[in-house]
């Protein structure tokens, strides 16, 4: 019954968001439904393999949209990318340090919770440093929700058109079976290979990188029917939303206003960088906002794919920062935490 409720609420909320032409409606609808179901006391959780597969599919989707010239874009604008990465990491560390010094949350919880990405890594490491890993999880995944919601709002405010409106979607198109099989092989095999190689965030990044290379050299054609994308968008939304269980929310209730305030401050600091990019580099507002958003790369990828923005620029910035955060954030956060203990 809980699964039926989740699927029904997801379909209804997605249909409403599609009707009003909200960006990433097929992810935001299931995300909202999952939060409602989890908060009602249900302990649903989609199987891990399904979420990993959905990340692989999203990686293939972005690979289809992003040319190999993305490498040249990063090289030619390396100063802009370097400043963007350093700024976001520094802003998140500053917010976490201030919250820890002011004892807004117990121990070093805020420091781990404000790290811009690598949510699962930060949540696991937090406990060994006396942080409340449940509050860290709330901070990490609440930021993903708020970033996605604000991105949809920014898109509406700036009149950015949605790539596929409700009436334009062909849910069951004719499929080229060989390219479809190749795409499924990449979406499944990429995450498996990433796990064997122990690549952080590899379930998303490896299909993305391999997809760009293989499609650029004509070795494969990425085929992604709308029904498969809708299913994978829903799995991404469910994976985030179902983490907001009633016990977790009750545990975080007292600190929730402070967590939301800190998250909004971090988002605002990143939005300040986006504004500077608009003013100094001529980047359009939504592209700049999505590129500098702190965390949730798969969610940002889905929003970018559903709106008329520079997907190459967004994903280049997000990917470079994700790689930097995966290696720098644990070391930097551990360094600061050691001096605050």
- CATH number of the domain residue 98 falls in: 1.20.1530
* 69 confidence band (pLDDT: 50, 70, 90): low
* 72 confidence band (pLDDT: 50, 70, 90): confident
- DSSP H or E stretch at residue 145: helix 133-157
Rounded to whole angstroms, the Cα distance separating 277 from 280 reads 5
Give the pLDDT mean for 279-294. 84
CB distance 93 to 338 below 8 Å: no
Sign of CA dihedral 181, 183, 184, 190: positive
118 vs 88 pLDDT, higher one: 88
Burial of 260 (0-12, 13-18, 19+ CB in 10 A): middle
Mean predicted lDDT score pLDDT of the chain: 80
Q: What is the pLDDT of residue 165?
A: 47
Please tell me whether residue 162 adopts helix, strand or coil conformation: strand
Rounded to whole angstroms, the Cα distance separating 285 from 47 reads 37
Number of domains forming the structure of the chain:
1
Rounded to whole angstroms, the Cα distance separating 64 from 221 reads 8
Q: Is the pLDDT of residue 256 over 80?
A: yes
- DSSP H or E stretch at residue 272: helix 256-281
- DSSP H or E stretch at residue 249: helix 246-252
Q: What is the pTM of this model?
A: 0.72
pLDDT in tens, 14-39: 888 888 766 667 888 898 899 889 88
Give the pLDDT mean for 246-263. 84
Q: What is the pLDDT of residue 8?
A: 93
Give the pLDDT mean for 69-92. 79
Q: What is the pLDDT of residue 185?
A: 93
Domain that holds residue 30: 2-340
Q: What are the E-state strand segments in the chain? A: none
């Amino acid at each position: 019954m809980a699964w039926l409720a989740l699927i029904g609420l997801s379909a209804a909320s997605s249909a409403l968001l599609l009707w009003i032409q909200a960006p990433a409606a097929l992810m935001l609808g299931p995300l909202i439904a999952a939060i409602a179901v989890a908060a009602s006391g249900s302990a649903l959780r989609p199987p891990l393999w399904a979420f990993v597969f959905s990340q692989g599919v999203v990686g293939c989707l972005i690979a289809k949209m992003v040319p190999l010239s993305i490498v040249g874009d990063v090289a030619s604008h390396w100063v802009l990318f370097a400043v963007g990465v350093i700024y976001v990491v520094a802003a998140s560390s500053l917010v976490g340090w201030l919250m820890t010094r002011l004892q807004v949350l117990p121990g070093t919880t805020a420091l781990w919770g404000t790290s811009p990405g690598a949510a699962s890594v930060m949540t696991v490491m937090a406990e060994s440093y006396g942080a409340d890993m449940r509050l860290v999880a709330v901070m990490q995944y609440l930021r993903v929700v708020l970033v996605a919601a604000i991105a949809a709002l920014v898109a509406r405010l700036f009149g950015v058109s949605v790539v596929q409106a409700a009436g334009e979607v062909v849910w069951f198109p004719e499929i080229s079976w060989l390219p479809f099989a190749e795409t499924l092989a990449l979406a499944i095999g990429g995450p498996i290979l990433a796990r064997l190689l122990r690549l952080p965030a590899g379930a998303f990044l490896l299909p993305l990188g391999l997809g760009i290379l293989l499609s650029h050299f004509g070795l494969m054609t990425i085929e992604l029917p709308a029904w498969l994308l809708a299913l994978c968008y829903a799995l991404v939304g469910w994976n985030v939303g179902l983490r907001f269980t009633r016990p977790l929310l009750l545990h975080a209730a007292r600190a929730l206003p402070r967590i939301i305030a800190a998250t909004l401050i971090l988002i605002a600091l990143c939005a300040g960088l986006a504004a500077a990019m608009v003013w100094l580099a001529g980047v359009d507002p939504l592209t700049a906002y999505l590129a500098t958003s702190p965390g949730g790369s798969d969610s940002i990828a889905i929003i970018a794919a559903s709106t008329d923005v520079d997907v190459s620029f967004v994903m280049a910035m997000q990917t470079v920062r994700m790689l930097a955060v995966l290696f720098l954030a644990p070391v930097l956060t551990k360094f600061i935490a050691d001096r605050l203990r």
